[in-house]
Every structure is written in C-alpha cells, then in structure tokens.
Amino acid sequence: MADLSRPTYAGKVRDLYVLDDDHLLLVASDRLSAYDVVMRETIPQKGRVLTGLTDHWLTVVAPDVPRALLTCDPAAIAAYAPEADRPEWAGRAMLARRAAMLPLECIVRGRLAGQAYEEYAARGTVHGEPAPAGLRLTDPFPEPRFTPSTKEATGHDRNVSLAEAAEIVGADVLEHAREICLSLFARAAGILEERGIVLADTKFELGYVDGELVVCDEVITPDSSRLWPAASVRSGETPPSFDKQPFRDWLDAEGWDRTPPPPSVPPEVVAATSARYVEAYERVTGHSLGDWYGSGS
C-alpha cells in the first residue's frame, strides 16, 4: 500500500501522492494562491470546483482528448487505492496516470488581458511575437494565440516566443502541443459562449504517458483561466470575472507588494471569492455543486 500520510509533493493548491510507478493521486485543497504566494485563509468549496470542472471538460465535453486523468469517482479511486478512501477527499481527488511533463506552460489566449496586455501596451508584442496594432484591453485576437511560458523552479515563469519554446522542447513537440491546446480551447470557448461566458485565456499542462502527449492537471478552471460574463465585456475596460482576478484586484487595492507574508483576508472577501468559484462551476456545467462528489463531507 502507498503511504498517503503525507503528500509526495505539496504544491500551492494541490497535494500529489505517488500510488505506484504508473499512478498518482492529486488532491485539490481550498488553498488560494495569488502572485505565487499562498494565502493563510482558505476558500470553501474551491478544491471541489477545480476538480469538478476538470472532470467536466475532460470526461463530459472532450472525452476524445488524450489525458492523464482516469477518474474522480471516490468509489473507483478507493477500489484502486483503498488507503485513499477518505471522506474529506471526495470530489477533490483525481486518479491519474504518471506523466513526464513538458517543461512549458501551454497558454492559449483568445483576448488581450493580463501579462499579455502589459507587454502589448509597452512593446506591441505578445510573448515576443508581433500582434495587431490598435488592440485594447479585452479585445479579441484575430484568432486564438498559443503563447507558452517556461516552468521555473524558483521565481516567476517566463513568457517566451514560439521560437524559444521550440528550442526547449523541439519544433515537432511544440506543434503537437499547440494543436492539442488550440483544439481544446476552441471547443471550450464555443460551449462557454453558449452559456454567456467569454474564455479570455487558459493554461494547459501537457506531458507524455506511454509515448503519447496528453493533457494533465486541471483544465479550464477559475485558477487556470480568465472567465468573463459576456454581457459585461467592454473594450478597454476591466470586466468582472468568475476567476480569481477579482481577488488579485482586492490584493492590489490593499497595497500589498506581492511578497510574503500576504495580508489577512477578511471573511466577506473569502465568502465572495467562494461564491464566484461555485457560480463558475454551476454556470459552466449546468449542475449544482451540491450534486458533485463530496457534498455531504
């Protein structure tokens, strides 16, 4: 039996447990990270939302996309690893195949926002690549852009051009990753549009399992994406959102310098942030979060 008394690796939000040579258990906590710093306070239901949305996109919407995820069903997880049968993990745990991860964050941008907007405003480029002139904040690109960044062991990830990314993983691998990510983004963006939500950008993690390039980790969640209510998007204006950007905005308004320790988060901000996560899940899936695993725990 695997030792699940402590995680093999504790990330900012997820705890990873190695079950055997071929399988991992990833458990999404309610921890909240902003600017690469983990807050002291947790956000109720956040871990269940991240796990439930990932399962929705990969098993309901895009079951044909190659993926590391095997199941989020607590019963199926317990059948494979009885020591993982913990009520507090229900709805938060993903049984996945172990993958050799690409050393890139695979970002797809449909709209101009975030770091891409800051770079564009300063230099007219996005990840070092030319971009159309005259764009404003939230404006759509002529077509979604694949804009990778590095994975840094310490400090912040670094945005890179496609040429630089190809030097890291090879041109053929980069093109394959690009095809997977753009295809999944297009499918998700179309579905979200029907639900009145704009998918501005999202980050994918890819890796190899048995020689096949697959999607790993969380997929199109409020932590990995910018999700905007379509009716509120105005060119040149910061829209409200279902992701954690409003929390970042609150931190900025507090005057925090983005280095530890973070400021204390008041209960009303915790509650509002939790409500946004739950609303994101329910608007995207069309189901109540109460119907997802772990509602009784």
Tokens linked to 68 = 């590391």
Structure tokens at 216: 């790993």
- Give a yes or no: residue 94 inside a domain: no
Q: What does the buried/exposed string (b/e) look like for 181-192 if buried means 16 or more CB atoms within 10 Å of the residue's CB?
A: bbebbebbbebb
What range does the domain containing 164 cover? 101-248
Written as six digits, the tokens of 164 are: 């630089």
- Compute the half-sphere exposure of residue 249: CA atoms within 13 Å on the CB side of its CA: 11
Question: 241 Cβ partners below 8 Å, 6+ apart?
Answer: 226, 227, 228, 229, 276
pLDDT value of residue 153? 65
The answer to whether residue 213 is domain-embedded is yes
**pLDDT score, position 155:** 60
Asked whether residue 292 is domain-assigned, the answer is no
- What is the pLDDT, as a whole number, of residue 245? 84
Task: Collect all residues with Cβ–Cβ distance below 8 Å to 196 and sequence separation of at least 6.
Answer: 229, 230, 231, 283
- Total of domains in the chain: 1
CA atoms of 36 and 24, how far apart (whole Å): 24
Residue 270 located in a structural domain: no
Give the whole-number percent of the chain exceeding pLDDT 90. Answer: 91
Q: What is the pLDDT of residues 246-276, one digit of tens each?
A: 999 999 999 999 999 999 999 999 999 999 9
Q: Is residue 42 part of a domain?
A: no
> Using one digit for the tens of pLDDT, what is the confidence trace for 85-140?
999 999 999 999 999 999 999 999 999 999 999 999 999 999 999 999 999 999 99
Helix-helix angle 171-194:162-169, to 10 degrees? 120
What is the rounded distance in angstroms from the CA atom of residue 142 to the CA atom of residue 96? 36
In this prediction, residue 297 carries a pLDDT of: 58
Copy the structure tokens of residue 97.
Answer: 């195949």
Burial class (CB in 10 A: 0-12, 13-18, 19+), 281: buried
Is residue 151 included in any domain, yes or no? Answer: yes
Residues in Cβ contact with 85 at an 8 Å cutoff, skipping those fewer than 6 apart: 74, 77, 78
Instruction: Examine residue 209 and state whether it is found in any structural domain, yes or no.
Output: yes
Q: What is the CATH number of the domain that holds 205?
A: 3.30.470.20
Strand locations in 182-248 (E)? 197-209, 212-216, 225-229
Tokens of 92: 């938060």
SS3 of 151-185: the string is CCCCCCCCECCHHHHHHHHCHHHHHHHHHHHHHHH
Sign of the CA dihedral running 213, 216, 221, 222: negative
Q: Is residue 200 part of a domain?
A: yes
* Of 92, 100, 225, 103, the residue nearest 153 (C-alpha): 103
All residue ranges of the chain with pLDDT < 70 are: 1, 153-156, 297
